């Protein structure tokens, strides 16, 4: 099972969230991709006519690196231009095989993973099973991305030959198979974390030619790509976080694909763009610091905050009334959602009630304290923070808003001492509530301790590791009852995605977890 050359992998990180991008509406020749310091980017596809038209796509939340294990949030999307996973899942539930060609179940714990032959990295090294194994090990050793391989039994899992892995799990887990879709595969032989931060080496259809943090990322097509050759030669991802700047770019034809505020959908459509509105299958929530000595250490204090939040105002202001509130902690559009999960606690069944909120705030000692509300700096998250700040002030609770960039924010929420309320969008490639509700409280330490936390852990993790779907759903139902009572986070509203797409741009298809394959796109 010798491998001639390298392998390396980087994953996508949970969640969630999603790339929503945009690109220039003008037909121009791209002469701006000459600033690359990547020595592996010499081969370019020669295509006629519209192939030379640069596709310009909006990107958000630049993490400041192209090393996959360092990228979170909206900037994960651009990585699919030059990195690839083993497989993915389309919106209709069908599987899209990418670097793997099969995952054969032998038992609940043992699988045969078959790797595609004839694939090369952008530096010419062939992809082998050793690269995939190396990528899994990278995820295992990373505190953010271990979820991609959380139940892989690394003692038993072995490379059989160049294109086969004997895969073992420590236990069955309903989210493990979808988790592999979030793992980018990298070249083991050439792996260098520092070098990859600017000059990524992947199996994808494009190579990076220029990257300026918080400005742009330019890529050009490979002529030696293993799959169907990209129909568009050059792509420029423009990092634009502010909604007003996005609209301005669309007005001037500087973008071909972008996320736009739903309130601006009609106007953007009048500019000649096609508008696509879809549910993101994830929701906004408020994470709470549950540290016992903190302002929100009691569940009554957390309930007070919940009853103080006007969720309908959030829906109206951010989504122009075209979204819906979530009456349990996760999205109503997840694959294992059931109606019985809804309104299991007064924070959901009653919801917004300033009088009840003030009463609970006074009883819990919350009045007179100042809370810190943090977010990742996105316009929606900032607006939600401002609405909550006003809602809290109405019940006698002051707060301050701290806006971070995405990379800093993700590290900040890993310590419950850094905030009282964090605006967040929990998601998972599996699109399963059982995965999200079980794993995030393990992944993000909010300070919940005690016997009830133990009970919740047994129920939620028990559900996640149960093979029988009916039994899994019963355990999940019981876990949700405990969750909404102790309220580690509060569901706000569904995330609705509004895309503006240039009318000549075709082949835009998002997978179930929000990933996209740029080689599918073409100019009509």
The encoded tokens of residue 426 equal 């929990």
- For 222, 275, 287, the CA distances from 504, given in Å and listed in that order, are 23, 13, 41
pLDDT digits (tens, 9 = 90+) for 268-279: 999 999 999 888
Fold adopted by 281-495? Dipeptide-binding Protein; domain 3 (3.10.105)
Decide: helix, strand or coil at residue 395. coil
488 secondary structure, DSSP code: S
72/63 Cα distance (integer angstroms):
7
The confidence band for 3, taking pLDDT boundaries of 50, 70 and 90, is very low
| Residue entry with tokens 């420590």 | 170
pLDDT digits (tens, 9 = 90+) for 200-239: 999 999 999 999 999 999 999 999 999 999 999 999 999 9
In the predicted model, is pLDDT for residue 15 greater than 60?
no
User: What's residue 9's pLDDT?
Assistant: 32
pLDDT digits (tens, 9 = 90+) for 151-189: 999 999 999 999 999 999 999 999 898 889 889 999 999
Mean pLDDT for all residues in the chain = 89
Residue ranges of the domains in the chain?
A: 49-273+502-523, 281-495
pTM assigned to the model: 0.71
306 close to 347: Cβ distance less than 8 angstroms: yes
Decide: helix, strand or coil at residue 24. coil
pLDDT (average), residues 16-24: 33
Decide: helix, strand or coil at residue 319. helix
Which string of DSSP letters, residue by residue, matches 284-310? Answer: EEEEE---TTSTT-SHHHHHHHHHH--
- For 257, 264, 318, 351, the CA distances from 268, given in Å and listed in that order, are 12, 6, 16, 34
pLDDT digits (tens, 9 = 90+) for 370-396: 999 999 998 899 999 999 999 999 999
User: What's residue 410's pLDDT?
Assistant: 87
| Residue entry with tokens 């996973």 | 85
Length of the chain, in residues: 524
| Percent of the chain topping pLDDT 70 | 90
In the predicted model, is pLDDT for residue 515 greater than 50?
yes
In the predicted model, is pLDDT for residue 514 greater than 70?
yes
274-288/257-259 β-pairing: unpaired
User: What's residue 4's pLDDT?
Assistant: 35
In the predicted model, is pLDDT for residue 11 greater than 50?
no
Closest by CA to 63, choosing from 426, 375, 379, 409, is 409
Phi then psi for residue 234, to 5 deg, are -125, 140
Closest by CA to 60, choosing from 77, 82, 84, is 77
- For 17, 18, 178, 248, 472, the CA distances from 427, given in Å and listed in that order, are 7, 9, 12, 30, 19
136/111 Cα distance (integer angstroms):
15
pLDDT (average), residues 431-441: 92
User: What's residue 47's pLDDT?
Assistant: 41
| Residue entry with tokens 């309908």 | 312
User: What's residue 8's pLDDT?
Assistant: 31
pLDDT digits (tens, 9 = 90+) for 120-134: 999 999 999 999 999
In the predicted model, is pLDDT for residue 23 greater than 70?
no
User: What's residue 1's pLDDT?
Assistant: 38
The encoded tokens of residue 125 equal 């090294």
| Percent of the chain topping pLDDT 90 | 76
Higher pLDDT, 43 or 182: 182
Question: What is the H or E stretch that residue 440 is in?
Answer: helix 433-443
pLDDT (average), residues 248-272: 95
17/521 Cα distance (integer angstroms):
21
In the predicted model, is pLDDT for residue 41 greater than 90?
no
The confidence band for 49, taking pLDDT boundaries of 50, 70 and 90, is low
The encoded tokens of residue 42 equal 């010499």
User: What's residue 13's pLDDT?
Assistant: 36
Residue 340: other Cβ atoms inside 10 A? 11
Residue 81: other Cβ atoms inside 10 A? 26
11-15, 96-100, 499-503: segment of lowest average pLDDT: 11-15
144 secondary structure, DSSP code: T
* C-alpha triplet 57, 60, 65: angle, nearest 5°: 105
234-239/55-59 β-pairing: parallel
In the predicted model, is pLDDT for residue 44 greater than 80?
no
For helices 354-363 and 299-308, angle between their N-to-C axes, nearest 10 degrees: 160
Fold adopted by 49-273+502-523? D-Maltodextrin-Binding Protein; domain 2 (3.40.190)
In the predicted model, is pLDDT for residue 21 greater than 50?
no
The encoded tokens of residue 493 equal 């509203």
Which string of DSSP letters, residue by residue, matches 256-291? Answer: SEEE--GGGHHHHHHTT-EEEEEEEEEEEEEEE---
User: What's residue 19's pLDDT?
Assistant: 33
**Burial (Cβ within 10 Å: 0-12, 13-18, ≥19) of residue 52:** middle
The encoded tokens of residue 213 equal 């943090």
Decide: helix, strand or coil at residue 479. helix
144-148, 249-253, 313-317, 456-460: segment of lowest average pLDDT: 144-148
């Amino acid at each position: 099972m010798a491998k001639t050359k390298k392998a390396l992998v980087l994953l996508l990180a949970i969640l969630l969230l999603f790339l929503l991008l945009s690109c220039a509406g003008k037909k121009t020749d791209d002469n701006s991709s000459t600033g690359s310091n990547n020595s592996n980017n010499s081969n370019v596809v020669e295509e006629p006519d519209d192939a030379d038209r640069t596709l310009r796509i909006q990107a958000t939340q630049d993490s400041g690196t192209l090393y996959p294990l360092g990228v979170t949030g909206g900037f994960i999307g651009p990585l699919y231009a030059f990195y690839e996973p083993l497989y993915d899942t389309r919106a209709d539930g069908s599987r899209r095989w990418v670097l793997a060609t099969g995952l054969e179940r032998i038992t609940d714990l043992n699988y045969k993973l078959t790797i595609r032959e004839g694939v090369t990295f952008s530096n010419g090294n062939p992809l082998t099973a050793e690269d995939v194994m190396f990528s899994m090990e990278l995820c295992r050793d990373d505190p953010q991305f271990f979820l991609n391989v959380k139940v892989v039994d690394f003692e038993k899992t072995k490379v059989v030959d160049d294109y086969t892995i004997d895969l073992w799990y420590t236990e069955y887990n309903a989210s493990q198979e979808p988790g592999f879709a979030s793992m980018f595969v990298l070249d083991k032989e050439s792996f260098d974390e520092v070098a990859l931060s600017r000059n990524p080496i992947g199996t994808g259809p494009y190579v990076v030619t220029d990257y300026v943090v918080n400005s742009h990322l330019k890529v050009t097509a490979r002529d030696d790509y293993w799959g169907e050759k990209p129909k568009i030669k050059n792509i420029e991802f423009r990092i634009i976080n502010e909604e007003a700047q996005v609209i301005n770019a669309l007005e001037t034809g500087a973008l071909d694909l972008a996320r736009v505020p739903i309130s601006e959908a009609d106007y953007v459509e009048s500019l000649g763009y096609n508008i696509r509105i879809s549910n993101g299958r994830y929701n906004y929530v408020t994470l709470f610091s549950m540290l016992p000595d903190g302002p929100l250490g009691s569940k009554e204090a957390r309930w007070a905050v919940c009853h103080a939040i006007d969720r309908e105002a959030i829906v109206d202001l951010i989504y122009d009334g075209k979204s819906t509130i979530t009456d349990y902690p996760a999205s109503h559009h997840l694959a294992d959602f059931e109606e019985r999960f809804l309104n299991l606690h007064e924070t959901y069944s009653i919801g917004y009630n300033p009088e009840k909120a003030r009463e609970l705030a006074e009883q819990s000692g919350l009045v007179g304290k100042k809370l810190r509300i943090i977010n990742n700096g996105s316009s929606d998250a900032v607006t939600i923070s401002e609405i909550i700040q006003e809602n809290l002030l109405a019940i006698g609770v002051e707060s301050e808003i701290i806006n971070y960039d995405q990379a800093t924010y993700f590290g900040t929420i890993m310590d419950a001492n850094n905030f009282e309320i964090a605006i967040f969008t929990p998601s998972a490639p599996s699109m399963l509530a059982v995965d999200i509700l079980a794993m995030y409280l393990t992944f993000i330490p909010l300070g919940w301790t005690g016997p009830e936390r133990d009970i919740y852990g047994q129920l939620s993790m028990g559900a996640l590791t149960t093979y029988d779907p009916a039994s899994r759903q019963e355990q999940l139902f019981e876990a949700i009852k405990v969750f909404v009572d102790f309220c580690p986070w509060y569901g706000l509203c569904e995330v609705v995605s509004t895309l503006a797409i240039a009318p000549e741009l075709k082949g835009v298809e998002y997978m179930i977890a929000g990933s996209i394959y740029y080689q599918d796109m073409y100019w009509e």
